A = this chain, B = another copy of it.
Amino acid sequence: MKRGILVSQFSTLENYFTEKREAHLEELKQFLRIPSISSLSEHKEDMQKGAQWLADSLSKAGLENVIVDKTSGHPVVYADWLHAEGKPTMLIYGHYDVQPVDPLNLWETEPFEPQVRDNKLYARGSSDDKGQVFMHVKAIEALLQTVGTLPVNVKLLIEGEEEVGSPNLEEYIENNKEKLAADVIVISDTGLQGPGQPAVCYGLRGLCGVQIDVKGAKSDLHSGLYGGGVQNSIHALVSILDSFRDAEGTIEVEGFYDNVRPLLEEEQEAYKALGFDEEELKKEVGVNELFGEKGYSHLERVWVRPTLEINGVFGGFSGEGIKTVLPSEAGAKITCRLVPDQDPDEIVTKLRAHIEKNKPVGVTVTVTEFDKGKPFITPFDHPAIQAAGRSYEKVYNVPTAYTRGGGSIPIVAAFDEILGLPVVLMGFGLSTENFHAPNEHFHLENFDQGLRVIGDYYYELAGLSKEDLKK
């Protein structure tokens, strides 16, 4: 161990975790028994219960200023410990709400009756995200109980609406900027790269999208009487849709790639080193060939390259057999995954211009915008990212993967934007753990090792100055 926690402290911490393991699991099970499903109004009281349970647990751990704070939706839970004078402050974000559980009949055991089988804890929320939030609470408690202090200042902000898109959190952050002021944001709501393979995620893609509605004649026409003489709305639509991408997967919207931040050589090397198995992926998704932008590896395509995907298309007759209709209306939904430094508003403007330019004659085209989310990145070589990598390596004893995510967590971009802080995504889940599906579970070896990684990371951060942490 080069930096971070002292060997003696680490050993004390380890003994503590080992000794308390059963007690911790019993406690986590209590948390998991609360059906805090944010999307279902019948669970409104359970949301309150979940927030209160967490608040009590934070107080018990030794955190201060604990509050179950109101929002326009479900409450957020805030707590802090701010006695590491001169040291950096970390803001830990997570969520205590969970996904719905249907189809219930596919669960082997009840989703809110946690059960350990084969060293895996089965319950809704075990991996996403109660289990991971609980690890931070216990890491803090352990340090306060053993060392008697924390090496850094800590603030926790645990929300109850992550699974419904965090509709009220941005406003909460805006209204509590000072209270939430920190030097780094740490989120444990993602996953390892694979079993035994730690990963720090330092970037996520953003999102924007539009619906395109094409209207030709005022009503459907008989293709015998009018076919060949009046524009067909579906022909017009597919002509627009096909113009978005060339045969080699490059998006042909003018200026689409303008602000794409080039991939660093180190990043490229790091991705290559992951040895991603494209053959395995083909088998997983059931295709003979992968397809994506020419000149990029699969990981580059889904992590660092922007996309334009057609998510749905509709128009005319889709029943059985034939109907010789010349359809009046057709439409499609498209979304773009964006990467740093693309701006969703700018991309939508470019999409609109492209559609206008490629609009065939004889139809009117309406473009409707969807919700947008900015991409996010903390530079690969940022000290907070590299420190997280070191903490993983010390515990897992293998090199950490530095990854990006292809999906979007809009609230991460909001943190980035409002608070202007580096964000470190250090997750302990596995992609096979059925979060959002029946039989969600959490591999307890990652619970055990993750507690140690988190404990170490607090010390790693303490070794950095506020200046080091500036983004």
Q: How far is the CA of A420 from the CA of B216 in the complex (A)?
A: 41
Q: How far is the CA of A315 from the CA of B237 in the complex (A)?
A: 14
Q: How far is the CA of A205 from the CA of B225 in the complex (A)?
A: 10
Q: A238-B241, A247-B360 are in contact. Are A311 and B323 (CB under 8 A)?
A: yes
Q: How far is the CA of A469 from the CA of B64 in the complex (A)?
A: 105
Given B242, B313, B324, B337, which contacts A224 in the complex, CB threshold below 8 Å?
A: B337
Assess the B286–A224 pair: CB atoms within 8 A.
Answer: no
Q: A287-B362, A312-B318 are in contact. Are A298 and B229 (CB under 8 A)?
A: yes
Assess the B316–A323 pair: CB atoms within 8 A.
Answer: no
Chain B residue nearest in CB terms to A407: B224
Judged by a CB distance under 8 angstroms, whether A273 is at the interface is: no
Q: How far is the CA of A43 from the CA of B228 in the complex (A)?
A: 37
The residues of B that contact A292 with a CB separation of less than 8 Å are 228-230
Counting contact residues on chain A (CB < 8 A from B), the size range is 35 or more
Q: How far is the CA of A290 from the CA of B361 in the complex (A)?
A: 8
Q: A227-B307, A235-B310, A309-B232 are in contact. Are A324 and B318 (CB under 8 A)?
A: no
Q: A310-B235, A312-B315 are in contact. Are A291 and B324 (CB under 8 A)?
A: no
Q: A286-B218, A314-B313, A362-B289 are in contact. Are A322 and B371 (CB under 8 A)?
A: yes
If A227-B302, A228-B301, A311-B322 are given as contacts, then 19 extra A-B residue pairs at C-beta distance below 8 Å, sorted by A number, are A217-B287, A218-B287, A223-B335, A227-B406, A228-B292, A228-B293, A229-B290, A229-B406, A230-B285, A235-B245, A238-B242, A241-B242, A310-B316, A311-B324, A311-B326, A311-B327, A313-B314, A313-B330, A318-B333
> In whole Å, how far is A322's beta carbon from the nearest beta carbon of chain B?
4
Judged by a CB distance under 8 angstroms, whether A463 is at the interface is: no
Contacts of A253-310 to chain B: CB distance below 8 A: 281, 285-293, 298, 301-302, 305-307, 309-310
Assess the A228–B305 pair: CB atoms within 8 A.
Answer: yes
Judged by a CB distance under 8 angstroms, whether A167 is at the interface is: no
Given B281, B298, B313, which contacts A313 in the complex, CB threshold below 8 Å?
A: B313
Q: How far is the CA of A242 from the CA of B333 in the complex (A)?
A: 17
Given B323, B333, B407, which contacts A312 in the complex, CB threshold below 8 Å?
A: B323
The residues of B that contact A335 with a CB separation of less than 8 Å are 223, 322, 324
